[in-house]
Amino acid sequence: LLQLFPATIHRRAPLPSTVPWRAPAREIRDSPRFSWRGAMLDVVRHFAPPRDIRRFIDLLAMHRLNTLHLHLTDDQGWRIEIARYPKLTEVGSWRPESQVGAAPESDGDGRPHGGFYTKDDLREIVAYASARGITVVPEIELPGHAQAAVAAYPELGVGDAAPETPWTRWGINPVIFNVEESTIAFLADVLDEVIDIFPSEYICIGGDECPKVQWRDDPRTQERMRELGVEEEEELQSWFIGRIAAHLASRGRKLLGWDEILEGGLVDDASVLSWRGQIGALVAARAGHDVIACPVDSVYLDYRESDMPGEPIPVGTVTTVETAYGFDPVPPELNATEARHVRGGQANLWTEHIDSSRAIDYHVFPRLCAVSEALWTRGDRDFREFEPRLVEHLARLDAAGVEYRHPDGPRPWQSRPGVVGRPSSMEDAVAHLERITANIG
């Protein structure tokens, strides 16, 4: 209904009386293709205050998305209050600095970074989202991406050399939870408190990017494997996730994990976030497991949007609006019965290089507009038909205060420092100056 009114209806202040609110008469018969239409927001690498999350929820609702996947724990921080284990936030929610840039040899910025959500913060976020038709799905990472938790409680780690702080770098970290019964019980306690906050059907447990080096090199872990009758470290991860899945099931919840949980054998009733292309979706759906598609090559919104030198974060493959619009969660190799296991899809935003709501706006929009239509629409889609409608929709984003990426590239204040796009001729220079002046105005 709001899309039928003038774009100014999306402003928060009352409209002048001279602006008519008129909607043309229409009869609309419509329903979404998929039941899971979502976006994942990483609040670990850079913390987002509750007000920013509520604003993000408003923008999801504006685009008829119905799931917010909230990435709450990782190596670089622990963002959720757990009453039984207060050190998770006392120690785990702050790191001494953050890596600057994507290169492994990049320096740190020398500035502490952190924050966490109280239970009341998260209950408010859940209620705010629910009022807008959105389910919040929490993610607690295990057995890898564990450094923030191990820094807080060293007895959760492998061996005696526990880190003292959350990790200050980006990438894949070898720190992993150990496989003692006490650690399984600790994580079950954590998940019990998570479940009490989030009423979602699914609880995401991560399971991705989990090096097994510490397990392989640790005598106690190898002894534990023999006790359990497990021969390979991949099987040990499956055992670990199986224990967590059984606990979630005992609380009436379902386990969701990234597609690495397929390695070593997928536990019963687990659902898969297929991110490494479509292979995870194929394997899981054919085995009768539900799938949420989020392939890295089309819906990772932290990836750069062009090869232009001014793109603020030149990481990942180029993922354009047209790329996002072409997203189809269902691999064509699946038959009709198998395809029913694909519940939908989501776009993912990792925030190693995204530290503000302005930066989130730039990377998410308008690509999320394309993803939302891809997840809603039945039948064929044509980007040439979509593009002019998107241009019209940008006026709504303007009214809502969204600092999206413009079709002609980043604005000077959005570009990488020192790179604003040098004009190639006097005419180009004049046009460039006019654009800057208009945007400042």
Query: How far is the C-alpha of 366 from the C-alpha of 59, rounded, in Å?
Result: 11
Q: What angle do CA 193, 342, 201 make, to 5 degrees?
A: 20
**Helix 357-364 with 50-62: angle, nearest 10 deg:** 20
Report pLDDT for 313: 81
pLDDT of residue 315: 85
Compute the distance between CA of residue 396 and CA of residue 9 in angstroms, rounded to an integer.
8
CA distances (Å), origin 290, targets 236, 273, 283, 337, 354: 23, 9, 10, 12, 31
Please report where in the chains the tokens 């990234």 appear, as a residue.
Answer: 258
Contact 72, 79 (CB under 8 A): yes
Count of alpha carbons within 13 Å of 153, Cβ hemisphere only? 20
E strand or H helix that includes residue 322: helix 321-325
Torsion region of 101: left, alpha or beta (phi above 0 gives left; psi -120 to 50 gives alpha): left
d(CA 45, CA 42) in angstroms, rounded, equals 7
Report CA-CA distances (Å) from 266 to 58, 250, 261: 35, 18, 6
Smallest CA-to-CA distance from 388 within 321, 306, 440 is with 321
Which residues form the catalytic set? 74, 145, 209
Q: What is the pLDDT of residue 426?
A: 44
> Is the whole-model pTM more than 0.85?
yes
Q: Which of 233, 226, 83, 223 is nearest to 143 (CA)?
A: 233
CA 397 – CA 426 distance, rounded (Å): 32
Question: How many Cβ atoms are within 10 Å of 73's Cβ, its own excluded?
Answer: 28
Give the domains, in start order, of the chain with CATH numbers: 2-410 (3.20.20.80)
d(CA 300, CA 208): 16
pLDDT in tens, the chain (441 residues): 888 988 988 998 877 777 778 888 989 999 999 999 999 999 999 999 999 999 999 999 999 999 999 999 999 999 999 999 999 999 999 999 999 988 888 999 999 999 999 999 999 999 999 999 999 999 999 999 999 999 999 999 999 889 999 999 999 999 999 999 999 999 999 999 999 999 999 999 999 999 999 999 999 999 999 999 999 999 999 999 999 999 999 999 999 999 999 998 888 889 999 999 999 999 999 999 999 999 999 999 999 999 998 898 878 899 999 999 999 999 999 999 999 999 999 999 999 999 999 999 999 999 999 999 999 999 999 999 999 999 999 999 999 999 999 999 998 889 877 554 443 344 544 454 454 445 444
DSSP state of 1: -
The confidence score (pLDDT) of residue 434 equals: 56
108 phi and psi angles, rounded to 5 deg: -90, 160
Contact status, residue 166 vs residue 92, Cβ threshold 8 Å: yes
Q: What is the DSSP string of 417-430?
A: TT-S---SSHHHHH
Q: Residue 277, Cβ neighbours under 10 Å: how many?
A: 15
Question: Tell me, what's the pLDDT at 240?
Answer: 97
Token code pair at residue 123: 């209950």
Say what the pLDDT of residue 433 is. 45
Count CB neighbours of 250 within 10 A: 9
Q: Which two tokens stand for residue 416?
A: 């990488």
SS3 238: helix
Can you give the pLDDT at residue 15? 75
CA R_g for the chain:
23
